[in-house]
Amino acid sequence: MKMILNGQMVDAASGEVFEVRNPATGQAVDTVPRAGRDDVHAAIEIARCGKSIMAALPAHQRSDILRKAADLIGDELEALSQLLTSENGKTIRQCRFEMATTQRLFADFAEEAKRIRGQYLPMDNVAGLEHMICYTVRQPVGIVVGIIPFNYPAELFAHKIPGAIAAGCSVIVKLPELCPLTVLRIGELMLQAGLPPQGMQMLTGFPQDLGDELLTSPDIRMISFTGSVAAAKAIAGKASTTLKRLAFELGGIDAMIVMEDADLGAAAEGVVQGRLTNGAGQICCAVKRVLVQASVYEKFLDLLLARVAEIRMGDPTSEETDLGPLITPEAADKVHEQVRKSLDLGAKLLIGGKRCGASFYQPTVLSEVTSEMPVMQEEVFGPVAPVLSFEDLDAAVRMANDSPFGLQASVFSENIHSAIRIAHQLEVGGVVINASGAFRPGNVPFGGFKQSGIGRESIVDTVLDMTEEKTIVINEAI
């Protein structure tokens, strides 16, 4: 496949390409252009023209484009799901769910495009200003750069870019180098749906080749990034020279708190679905620390281990598979190293803990973990669940909050009053009660405290963030 500039599928200016490989087999799926600085500069020049074109599109046209794109995605849902599986490694069932979510987000943003509004401000509440009329309007922020990660490329693209289109922005998309194909196809469908060619540019390539112009150009007015804290800090430092608007959705070491009155079976299933199988644990809001009240700790472990033993790992294209590979062998190396170091520090391996082939990693449960271990200090991007006990709820809250991150959390309890009290005390952007914290439907604000991010993404919040509020005052006395 090729990248998209000015509505055309084009090669890189250098003519260089790189391979996109299937994580499950290691085989090449396709090649894409290896963009460089010349391509970035060309994308910015086109986006500069697109800024006025997109801003001039009436809301109903922006809505129609997104709705038609949603319909086209629906028409190709199975083909897109198969493509996503081949380049990303998630199971086909998970990829179908991601593509259905992507389609829904496009449809939701299509509706939100028609809901962008300002407000009337009465001026007679200030003495002497009775002769004035004031109202506000919301206008597009300008050119938005969206930087998309590998783990949920289609869905996370859909959490950002349709919102920018709904707001009337011109966008430049930096695609994940490990799996750009599905999103490129969605880009083609957006053009087919009527998106002006100047409205969205798509670049494939590696950060070290692209240079800093996407981050430093004064023409770029907003950067929406999902990824690591280290990358976000580098982006923020470079973008600070032009005081851009930044939206960062970063990582987490998300805690699940299981109280003694919880439905332990549901909580164990929450670990399996919210940590060990979904995306092979490569989810920013996945359950990453399981805190269980001491009185039910052993019973919970028995239920969890029995459930983990049932997980079917293997070919992600099979309808029977629950767990696919990690994105690369290097990713599996890192997870294994984090587990191994934790075991050296005294953690107990209850199940899993082994590499299988190049990129597969067994679903793993650890006990007797302590705060200094990598599986507790670092974000482990793989199917690993450390489980530890607590005596009282205050201790559970302290343990959950003892982290530089604060993305999501979950609480399992049959006592809704206790669960809500804990939810209010947790230093995180979202708390899910009696379900996994790996939860992001799109219509609720999503984002984190502390180093887990800046800002919130949702159907409403994203569009607001990608618009500027302007105040207009009319002096009737003249």
- Please give the Cα distance from 406 to 18 (Å, whole number): 36
* pLDDT tens for each residue of 312-324: 999 999 999 999 9
- Please give the Cα distance from 93 to 27 (Å, whole number): 21
Residue that is written with structure tokens 């996370």 in the block: 156
Name the percent of the chain lying above pLDDT 70.
100
What's the burial of 120, exposed, middle or buried (CB within 10 Å: 0-12/13-18/19+)? exposed
* pLDDT tens for each residue of 20-76: 999 999 999 999 999 999 999 999 999 999 999 999 999 999 999 999 999 999 999
Q: Are 454 and 244 in contact (CB under 8 A)?
A: no
- Mean pLDDT confidence for 209-235: 97
What's the burial of 182, exposed, middle or buried (CB within 10 Å: 0-12/13-18/19+)? buried
pLDDT-derived band at 478, boundaries 50, 70, 90? low
Q: Is 284 a catalytic residue?
A: yes
Q: Are 105 and 183 in contact (CB under 8 A)?
A: no
Q: Dihedral through CA 451, CA 452, CA 453, CA 455, nearest 10?
A: -120
Of 386, 382, 318, 321, give the one whose Cα is nearest residue 354: 382
* pLDDT tens for each residue of 393-426: 999 999 999 999 999 999 999 999 999 999 999 9
- Please give the Cα distance from 200 to 247 (Å, whole number): 19
- Tell me 382's DSSP state: S
pLDDT-derived band at 476, boundaries 50, 70, 90? confident
Of 247, 161, 142, 248, give the one whose Cα is nearest residue 202: 161
* pLDDT tens for each residue of 97-111: 999 999 999 999 999
- Mean pLDDT confidence for 353-365: 97
Q: What's the token pair of residue 2? A: 């090729």
Q: Is 148 left (phi over 0), alpha (psi -120 to 50) or beta?
A: beta
Q: How many CB atoms lie within 10 A of CB 307?
A: 18
Give the Å distances, CA to CA, from 468 to 90, 137, 168, 442: 38, 8, 11, 22
Please list the helix, strand and coil fractions of the chain in percent, rounded to the nearest 5, in that order. 40, 25, 35
> Mean pLDDT, the chain, as a whole number?
97
* pLDDT tens for each residue of 238-272: 999 999 999 999 999 999 999 999 999 999 999 99
Catalytic residue among 87, 155, 249, 379: 249
Q: Are 363 and 382 in contact (CB under 8 A)?
A: no
Give the Å distances, CA to CA, from 160 to 53, 109, 434: 19, 10, 28
- Tell me 295's DSSP state: G
Q: Is 249 a catalytic residue?
A: yes
CB-based contacts of 476, cutoff 8 Å, min separation 6:
131, 132, 133
pLDDT-derived band at 477, boundaries 50, 70, 90? confident
DSSP 3-state assignment of 212? coil
- Please give the Cα distance from 139 to 27 (Å, whole number): 46
- Please give the Cα distance from 169 to 51 (Å, whole number): 6
- Tell me 249's DSSP state: E
Q: Are 406 and 288 in contact (CB under 8 A)?
A: no
* pLDDT tens for each residue of 376-392: 999 999 999 999 999 99
- Mean pLDDT confidence for 298-306: 98
Catalytic residue among 95, 169, 179, 284: 284
Q: What is the pLDDT of residue 98?
A: 98
- Please give the Cα distance from 188 to 193 (Å, whole number): 9
User: Which pTM value belongs to this model?
Assistant: 0.97
Q: How far is CA 358 from the centre of its chain?
A: 25
Residue that is written with structure tokens 């005294």 in the block: 346
Name beta bridge partners: 30: 20
Q: Are 89 and 326 in contact (CB under 8 A)?
A: yes
Q: What's the token pair of residue 245? A: 């608007």
What is the 3-state secondary structure of 184-210? HHHHHHHHHCCCCCCCEEEECCCHHHH
- Tell me 231's DSSP state: H
